[in-house]
Structure 1
Amino acid sequence: MNLNEQPEPSTLRPIVPLVLYQGQSRWTYSTEFADLFAEPVRDWLGIPRFSHELVDQSQLQPDEIEGELKVRVMQLVMLAAYHPERPWMELAGTLLRTLRTLPPSGGTNYFYVFVDYILRTQEPETIELFGEVLRRGAPEIGDELMTYAEQIEELGEARGEERGRLKTQVEIIENLLRLGEDWSRIEAIAGVTASEFDALKQRLGELSA
């Protein structure tokens, strides 16, 4: 592009900040973003100022969930994080059984996306309840859920072991650097080059996120 050329003017698409609130009690806070900051800094010039649209679903009942199938399942599994009672799980189980029969959309299997969310946000007893609900209505899906839960647990343990090993390795190398060791000696001691050290720290950050 020629630096003297001016870009064609364009119209920015509107961005509407939307908050879906699904807590155990009604939303009582301000919908002004700046009010989320501590009071002494709210008047600072750099504080963004806009209001968000609020959808308060705290008092929503299971049969009031509307929308197409994936939207309904998405809302149910999010609400289940705060309302892990049987009516929510029963309806979520029914919708997930329906979702399980649909082909993947855009290469994404949303059944596993939503199941993964449940496994990562619920307590073990709630996961067991959800597995029971699914096993009663569709035994093969209930068994699949619990197998998947075991796989998630094993993956978490493996990630924890890798994180611990990398943390120790990174700390040793950082200590050597603080002592003034050069990379030729560090490589001989730890078996890690400078470029590999950067990759180790990046991987550690990913595992710790």
Structure 2
Amino acid sequence: MSETTIAFALDAAAMLLALLIALGAMRLGAAQFNLLAPADAEAVPIFHVSALMAGLICGAVLLICSPNLDAFAPRRIFAEDSPWAIDLKEFLTSYALPQAAALRTFWGGLRGESGAPVIMAAWTAVASILFGCFAALRFWRGWSRVRALLAFFSLAGWITLLLGYGVHLAAWVAAHLSFWIFLLLLVALQRWRHGRRSAAH
């Protein structure tokens, strides 16, 4: 077996493991939410929607605050000196959780110390969290209210983490499979053109 084949197999195994981590986190987050949420939470769709939106907004805002935002540009992903040309251990160490620099930028946005886009994004994230808390306080009373708040923060937090991890994972995988991605795009383009010609006849 050639060194190239071995290297490709190791890369494939690393990418599969990274994907399994994401899937495991999704299942863990769902299980935690179901454990915390009030028994009648399914009857309040706005509660789930508010947690989903808060998580997506917070995740997107942390990506905007990322110090390596330009690394997501295709020219950087597929460059020879791509910042994504790292192994699984370094990837998980750097990107499994939100970066400290992104959190500092987010906090700076709340204090008005960043640019206008970051300030607006940071306060939009806060507004989405407050709306979710309002939904939990509005529809439940007593211990169920506490459970609803905990479930909201749990689901929103997991979605925030998974969005950031998923976007970084996509860039990392794309950098490692750059040749195969271009090959698949070429095949898809050829099939699309062939389909159009067949439809024309």
TM-score bucket of the superposed structures, by smaller chain: under 0.3
Which of the pair has the greater relative contact order for Cα pairs under 8 Å at 6+ separation?
A: 2
More helix by percentage: 2
TM-score, length-scaled by structure 1: 0.26
TM-score, length-scaled by structure 2: 0.26
Highest Rg: 1 or 2?
A: 1
